[in-house]
Structure 1
Amino acid sequence: MSTDPWGRVDDDGTVYVRTAEGERAVGSWQAGEPEEALAYFHRKYDELATQVELLEQRLRGTDLPPAQAEASIVKLREAVTDAHAVGDLDALLARLGSLTELVAKRREEVRAARDAARAEARAVKERIVAEAERIAEDATHWKAGGERLRQLVEEWKAADRIDRVTEAALWKRLSAARTAFAKRRKAYFAGLDEQREGVRAAKERIVAEAEALADSTDWGATASAYRELMRQWKAAGRASREAEDELWARFKAAQDQFFQARSAVFAERDASLRENAEAKELILADAEKILPVTDARAARAALRHILERWEAVGPVPREMRDRLEGGLRRIDDAVRKAEEAEWKRSNPEARARAQDTVNQLRRSIEQLEARLAKARAAGREKDVKESEEALTARRSWLEEAERTLAEFS
């Protein structure tokens, strides 16, 4: 008969495990030495211990949902309780008990977070209803008010649900506010016909002023005057559709006449600005030499000097402005990205996280290499294969983690 601290093999080949409740048979061994039987059932225990360890890591290192974690614990507890294995099964059950306490704590945290989310959702919906009621009572800009009410409804739909009674009461208030707004708007437009004749007269005056300005060559002042007339046009309201269309056609024709004349003059003026464009072409070529950026600080200093030269040159023809400005903006973007990359490389927290990942993977590889060596020495082909596969994965992960860490150097 052979024994160890956690089990024994009887003379008839029956294998027993020792637990706090006493011994129980876990299998039999008819071929080979008792030590081989105990080694076999110890491996069964190691498999269970590995599963418990993996579950511990998932619970402490991830956001594993409490229900899923609890189901895993129950399944593992049953496996350990009825395990055909030799080892400290009571210790595994104690570790699973600790995990149960951790899951209970996490469940309370999830419940608290859910309650907080519901409270936040209620506050959001109360704010939506309060704003809708203010719009229903006070709004006079009908288009903006109606659009805002539609946005509030979409915000309501996007918000999380709350308890049914409160949800129904708040929705009833929101619906009532929308109805009240719609009634006020309808009443307003019902009386609008009385105002349309006054609007037509006001727009006749606006059109007359616009037509009087159509031949002006005082470009700045007249453009401002047209903007003011446009503001007055919008503020005046709407006349009947027939009058509105006819007056708008006249107003637009006068405005187009002025702005087309101004555009022709500006086009001639642009021709005189081509010399500036040529100068900026040369400056842009100098700016291109900054790329690729190898020293963000030096690149920024060089670009600052180039910007000073750029501003000193002055305006360029309109049709060339976007291309030239875009080219300089592209270089500025490259410098800014280099500055951001430099900042990320110097971020100590991110580097520390990357270093921790590399260290953890290296430790894991060392442990797996030791396990592989033992498996090879013992001739356990299955364990050898599993260890080699795990090592291949860990080494791949380590290469990626080391590349990430290298980016901070």
Structure 2
Amino acid sequence: LILNDTIQYGLLTATRHANGRDWWILVNERFSNRIYRLLFSPSGIQKLDSQHVNIALIDGLGQAAFSPNGEYYAIKSSYGLSVGHSLDVFRFNRCTGHLSEQIQIKNEGSAVGGLSFSPNSEYLYVSYRNNIFQYFLKSSNIDSSKILIANVDPLFPSYTFNTMQLAPNNKIYICATNSMKFLHLINYPDKLGADCGFQPIGISLPTFNYASISYSPNFRLGPIDGSICDSLGINNNPNCRWRSEQDTLDPLLMYFHDLSYFEPSEWHWNFGDPVSGFNNISNEQHPQHLFSTNGTYQVCLSVCNANACDTLCREIKLGNSHSENPEILTQIQVTPNPFSSMLYVGNTSPLGNNNCIFRLYNQTGTLAREYKLPFGITEIDTKDLPPGMYFWNVESHMEILRSGKIIKLNE
């Protein structure tokens, strides 16, 4: 038995010790200002002395998380209409495991939800069932820095927001408060306001997921080099990782996102496109490049700091049409089949809002329905259509992305 107390459920979270090996685990006592500190090392789990913070924490549903750099700790919790919900933000000392500089932001009402930090640890995203807000942690007044990022679509009130998780690809995934076959998505959480790229129904799931998302601490956090706790001889040797995405309008324009970890301080990109001249190289962390023509390019990123360098090269193939992209099969879905009074078209493709058009034809080739598809689910009333076989396609910029056939039954 490690700890015997009435602790708040569902908020266990961890971050790496400043020595680069061990782990700090925090959990708070219910309806109290006491927070327990656990240290996980090769010797096992050790319970250290607890800490009493300045303001008591609200007990209830919610989520706790450390920032990727381990410098912040935040708790979002709620407990009924009479108590409301609160957001508590602390500074965290990775050497001692102590919290400081508590800020508590209270809101009225009852709202489940969660939170997640941006990859650069500068922004905090908080969901309140029907809304998602962004807070700027370096602001002198964190509460006043709040920016509304997303509202639940009134046409789809069940597509709510719950707990979140920052993934290794530096995107934030958000589950709903109920049973759904999708996750919402924040594509660029290091950017301010609407530029963070919130995408409702950003990824389809193969089965229903009920109000939950997997949790993983940041395994890509190393020691604090040169600190009093840097006693194990572990260095932050950079590990190079990156991803890319194609512009939705110009197929030769690519956006590159650095995912490297262990504190790189220099970035050196080579896009393998010497025809582009000086634009063939970049020292930006997240550059973009307009390639000269269709073809196969070897793109390399080298990252360095005072300890070491690391390089990762990959091939980029340009010239494929969108319809040749296998992800389109999961990004555009038409259900159910067979259908009766309603047809649902799901669109999570990256082609932009209302840039996709859905068309439904009867067996004689007569157009029966035509809709511009926003991100998410489009409901199509088909009560007046006679039973039989129908053909559908989804087009974007004069190109057929997907097509199929579907059967209408008698109601």
Normalising by structure 1, we get a TM-score of 0.16
In proportion to residue count, which structure has more helix?
Answer: 1
In proportion to residue count, which structure has more strand?
Answer: 2
Larger Rg: 1
Normalising by structure 2, we get a TM-score of 0.16
